[in-house]
């Protein structure tokens, strides 16, 4: 059995959208629904002052989801780790539509348990 981890970086985003907590909440909600994830509590959010970005964390029964936005660099990073396989998710389309991402990099890492690589 292996877990899956997605490391996602979105570039050339709309800077204003990266400071919109509502948009990030929609992103998390959509991923939870589409990937059948199970939050074990309310997500935590930290909004940095001024034109700063947002950091979000959601503890999942499957592991965790994190997000960091950098309006000053027009970028967003996501990390989703799941202890069980999940279907593919269209990060590119969602991030382009919701955050105006011009380029999205998605790396999917298999995380084998017990060293079975």
Q: Show which residues are catalytic.
A: 63, 68, 83
Question: CA nearest 39: which of 61, 22, 24, 57?
Answer: 61
Q: Which two tokens stand for residue 101?
A: 């991402």
* CA–CA gap between residue 67 and residue 115 (Å, rounded): 28
Tell me the Cα Rg of the chain: 14
Tokens encoding 80: 């989703």
């Amino acid at each position: 059995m292996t877990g899956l981890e997605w490391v996602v970086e979105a570039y050339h985003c709309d800077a204003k959208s990266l400071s919109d907590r509502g948009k990030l909440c929609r992103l998390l909600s959509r991923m939870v629904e589409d990937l059948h994830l199970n939050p074990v509590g309310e997500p935590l959010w930290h909004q940095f002052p001024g034109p700063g970005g947002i950091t979000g964390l959601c503890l999942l029964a499957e592991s965790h989801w994190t997000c960091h936005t950098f309006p000053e660099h027009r970028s967003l990073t996501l990390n989703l780790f799941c202890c069980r396989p999940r279907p593919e998710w269209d990060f590119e389309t969602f991030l382009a539509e919701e955050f105006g991402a011009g380029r999205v990099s998605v790396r999917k890492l298999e995380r084998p348990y017990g060293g079975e690589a």
